[in-house]
Amino acid sequence: SPITHARNLISAGAFATANGIIPTPSAIKNAYQALQVPLKGARKQNELYRELLELGVVNTNVRLGDLTKLLEDVNFGGTMTSDKGLRMLLKPLSKFKRFAQDMYTAEDDFWKIASWAVERDRIGKAFVGAGIKEGDMVTNYLGKQVKFGSATDFSKNSFLKNEAADIVRNNIPNYDYVSDFIKG
């Protein structure tokens, strides 16, 4: 329902704000352009979305998975397909269902992408402010020594990308971390 979509978008924004994330205009623009929805201006940064997918930042919404499974369980419209007229009526609804699912995921992904970009830049500025230069060895969150990448272009610094991804995965609801017991 539209109320569910509004709640999802607002609550994801509230988690970002609770973590001290005030998205910059560039973070908002990048987040929107990376979304994988059929809206004007989206899907312009597919590389960024793929990278965030690999980092486990985006597309981690169990509620969408639950919705999909529920619709499969009830065979979305399958019990009413004996009549050709009803099949033709339900076909457009199937497209709407897919759009609604894509939007539901995008609402979470938007804030996760924006939060990731802000965290990456915030960590990078803190390291540079502490006198850490490109090529210096730093300790990551796992206690492992890694090389600090570009001190001028944080978007190319894999250390910062991984650190920001870890923060977002652990501070913004990520249903990939829900145990199988709880899911059951």
Q: Read off the pTM.
A: 0.73
Stronger pLDDT, 90 or 146, i.e. the higher one: 146
Quote the tokens at residue 71.
């619709």
Mean pLDDT of the chain: 81
Flag whether pLDDT at 151 surpasses 90: no
Q: pLDDT tens-digit profile of 112-138?
A: 999 999 999 999 999 999 999 988 998
Whole-number Å distance between alpha carbons of 58 and 64: 13
Cβ-based neighbour number of residue 148 at 10 Å: 20
**Would you say 139 and 127 are in contact if contact means Cβ atoms under 8 Å apart?**
no
The yes-or-no verdict on residue 143 having pLDDT over 50 is yes
pLDDT (0 to 100) of residue 78? 55
Nearest to residue 108, comparing CAs of 177, 178, 14, 181? 14
pLDDT tens sequence across 100-116:
777 888 888 998 999 99
